[in-house]
Chain A
Amino acid sequence: MSQWTLFEVFVRSKHGLNHKHVGSVHAADDQMAIENARDLYTRRNEGVSIWVVPSAAITATATDEKEPLFDPSEDKVYRHASFYELPDEVGHM
C-alpha cells in the first residue's frame, strides 16, 4: 500500500517555551515527516524546533477519565503561589 504514516507535530515557537501540538502531517518516514512539518507549520518563522511522533504511538487520557485524573488537583490550591498571602513589606516573591 502507498499509505503514508500519520504523524503528530509539535513546534517550539521560541527558545525557552514548550513544544506545542500544532496538527499532523503524512509522511513515509521520520525525516520526511520533519520536513513536511517544517514546510507546513513554520512558513512564517513560527518555530525553532520541531518534534514529530507517529500518531499511533500517542497514548491519551480517555474522556471518562477526566474526573479521576484531573479533578483531585482542583482542590489542591496550596500548589499555586496565589494561595499564600504575604504582607506587602516582604516585597515581590
Chain B
Amino acid sequence: MYAQMVDTGVKQVKSLDEMDAEERAFQQKIDAEVKIEAKNWMPEGYRKTLIRQISQHAHSEVVGMLPEGNWVTRAPTFKRKLQLMAKIQDEAGHGLYLYSAMETLGADRDEEIDKLHSGKAKYSSIFNYPTLNWADMGAVGWLVDGAAIVNQVVLQRTSYGPYSRAMIRICKEESFHQRQGYEILLHMMQHGNEAQKEMVQDAINRLWWPSLMMFGPSDADSPNSAQSMAWKIKRHTNDELRQRFIDQTVPQLEFLGCTAPDPDLKWNEERGHYDFGVINWQEFYDVLKGYGPCNRERIETRRQAIDNGAWVREAAVAHANKKKQRSVA
C-alpha cells in the first residue's frame, strides 16, 4: 500500500444518529456509493484525512522513482532501458495525477512537498530499501508494484471522485509495470546464467518481506481504519489485501522457480489461502520512523532537487511576468 497508517484524527466512528444533518446527508451519500466531488460539503476530518492519504500516495510515487533511477543509467539493453525509462516517467506522472487530485481539496502542492522534505509527511516504507542488483528492477515491478496494484484496484471505488478517477487512470497505466518486472525475472531465470539466477533469488529475499509490509500492520482495533472504511476512502482491511496479494503471488513465485524467505509459507487447504510467517513489525516501524537503510538519502535527494531547482522556477516566473508586461505595453 502506498498510503500507510493514515491518521484520521478520529477516536471513534460516529453512528448516523450522532451526526448533525449535514454530516448525516454526507454519510448517506457515501453509503449509497455516490461520489463526493470537490465542491460538495464534507466533514473537515474527511478532507484532512484525504489530503494526508493522497499526498502520501503521491510522495510515494515520486520517491519511488529513486530506487529505479539507481539502475536506469545501467540498464543492460535498449529494450530494458526504454521500458524502465517509461515506467519511471509513469511514476512521475502518477505522482502528478495524485497531487492534482489532492489540490482539488484545497491543499497546496508545494506545502505538502515541504512536509515531505522536513520529515513530517510519510511515504511508503518500501522505497527506503536499496536496489542492489539489476534483478531488483524486476522484483520492484513484480512485488512492489504488484502489492501497490492490489491496493489501488480497490481504491478505484474510493468515495472521493477526483481520487477515484486518478486511481482508474493509474491502474490502467500500471498494468504494464508489474508485467515488465515479472518478465525481467522470468527471462533471467529461463535464459540467464547462474550469476543471474542468484541475482533474482537475492532480490526476492530482500524485497519479499518489505513488500508484505506495504499493506500496513493488522488493522484490528485501529480507529483510523474503521473511520477510513466508513468514509470508503479505504475499502478493505490491510490483512485482507495482504492475503490477496500473497495468494496471487505465490504461484508466480513457484513458476519462476524461486523461493520466498519464509519457512512458514504454505497452502492451507482448509482456509483456501496461503499461511505465512510472522512479519517483523519492529522493522516496519523503524523504517517508517526514519531508520530505514535509505531514508536519509531519499529525502535528501528530493529536497536537493527542489532546492537546487528554485532558481529555475523563479526564472520561469520572472520571464512570464516580463512577457506579460511587454504584451500590455
Contacts and interface: CB of A to CB of B under 8 A. Distances in A.
How many of chain B's residues touch chain A, expressed as a range? 20 to 34
Residue in B89, B110, B317, B319 whose Cβ sees the most chain A Cβ within 10 Å? B317
Nearest to A46: B169
Contacts of A1: 317
A26 interface: yes
A25 B110 CA distance: 13
Given A2-B317, A43-B93, A63 B41 contact: yes
Interface string A30-49: 00100000001001100000
A43 B89 contact: yes
A48 B135 CA distance: 38
**Chain A interface, DSSP helix/strand/loop, else mixed:** loop
B101 to A, nearest CB: 7
Given A60-B39, A63-B39, A23 B316 contact: no
Contacts of A24: 100, 103
A25 B96 contact: yes
Interface string B170-191: 0001000000000000000000
Given A24-B103, A43-B89, A63-B41, A4 B96 contact: no
B97 A23 contact: yes
Nearest to B312: A2
B273 interface: no
Interface in B259-318: 310, 313-314, 316-317
A40 B93 contact: yes
A56 interface: no
Nearest to A3: B110
B7 interface: no
Nearest to A26: B109
Nearest to B314: A2
A55 B180 CA distance: 37
B90 A4 contact: no
A32 B109 CA distance: 18
B100 A25 contact: yes
B39 A23 contact: no
A4 B39 contact: no
A93 interface: no
A29 B323 contact: yes
Contacts of B310: 2
A-B residue pairs, 4 tightest by C-beta? A28-B316, A29-B320, A2-B313, A23-B100
Given A4-B317, A24-B103, A63-B41, 10 more contacts: A4-B316, A23-B100, A25-B96, A26-B109, A28-B316, A28-B317, A32-B316, A40-B97, A61-B39, A62-B39
13 contacts: A1-B317, A2-B313, A2-B314, A2-B317, A3-B317, A4-B317, A25-B100, A28-B316, A28-B320, A43-B93, A44-B173, A63-B40, A63-B41
